[in-house]
Amino acid sequence: MPRPRILFLILALAVAACDGQATPAPIQDGSALQAPTPPAPPSSEAKQAFYRGIELYQADQPVEALAELRRAAELAPQWDEANLRLGKLLLSLAFVKFGTATKEHTLLDEAIVHLERALALLPGKADPLYWSARAHTAAGRSEEAAQRFRRTLELDPAHKLAVKEYGLLLESLGEIEAARTQFERACVLMPLDEEMRFHLGLMLEQLDDPEGAREAFLAALDINPAHPGPRPRLVTLYYRLGDPAAAEHQAAEHERFKPLRTKLSQAMAEAAAHPRELAALLAVAEVYLEIGMPLAVRVWIDRALALQPDDARAQALLRRLAESNPKTEN
């Protein structure tokens, strides 16, 4: 299914090393050099707010979690983990707002502040660089985002999300060859990501490789038969490749899956609005079962069982899933 695309001042973080020890900058008067004082450990009050925020987030209460993580970062402004977690949550909530009609960017601006702080506190770490790059992308600062994605991948070449998001950014900038390279890497790192195969197909189309594009689109549909993107492209490709019967089949399949896509969209919206209601969670699982996506079915059943382990509807859905897809039973 379509997913949100998602999407800061450049920090010069210079860290020199000599025999494993940080080398301080020279002092003009030749006085004795001292290592920088590390940040004070967070207070017990800050820790309590932080871990309470994590618990609330895991319990699908992001607004309440946000209040606690803000408090933790306020009490311990030099706590790297509190700033990173808070920035990530703010960015997530900002994306939700971007999906609506609101023009409010306050959450994104706040996310940038805390992610930049985490980046300064964690020099040489890939994860804060990645999240900073995501925030820059959301803010429309493509050059800064690209620099941070490249640096992330220098530090961690197998950072799956950085590979994916950097490819999407390159695609949006029209850098087709570079985007294709990233999508090919992402397909290896994330074999169950249909979106990467769809975007790879789009890149191969633009590079005049219809056979490669066809294979990529079909691979995306193997993972998600209801994905709205590949089939219209396949219709065009099959006509181009001289196979009108295959083109007509894909057109018919696209129409067949339309009501299921609508049904899934409605179920997902209801689950987002009521993340702790079993009925809403299981409704999503049931639509995925209709579509034929067993792994997604199991994810949503597990979410429901985490709330109510003995729920009869969830157990019945598990049995149906096992009958139709034995490999997902465990």
Domain ranges of the chain: 274-330
Q: Taken in order 317, 320, 324, 327, is the CA torsion positive or negative?
A: positive
| Tokens found for residue 306 | 């985490």
- Determine the Cα–Cα distance for residues 90 and 86; give it in Å rounded to an integer: 6
User: Which residues of the chain are under the pLDDT cut of 50?
Assistant: 1-33, 35, 99-103, 329-330
Residue 32 has a pLDDT of: 42
Residue carrying structure tokens 């029209």: 174
Residue 106 has a pLDDT of: 87
Residue 67 has a pLDDT of: 96
Residue 103 has a pLDDT of: 44
CB 185 within 8 A of CB 158: no
- pTM for this entry: 0.79
Residue 38 has a pLDDT of: 67
Strands (E), 143-236: none
| Tokens found for residue 124 | 């040489």
Residue carrying structure tokens 């309470």: 52
| Tokens found for residue 288 | 């995925």
Q: How many CB atoms lie within 10 A of CB 217?
A: 27
What confidence tens digit (pLDDT) does each residue in 127-181 have? 999 999 999 999 999 999 999 999 999 999 999 999 999 999 999 999 999 999 9
CB 95 within 8 A of CB 134: no
Residue 4 has a pLDDT of: 40
Residue 275 has a pLDDT of: 87
CB 57 within 8 A of CB 26: no
> In the beta sheet, which residues pair with residue 21?
18
User: Cα dihedral angle (7, 148, 81, 23), rounded to 10 degrees?
Assistant: -170
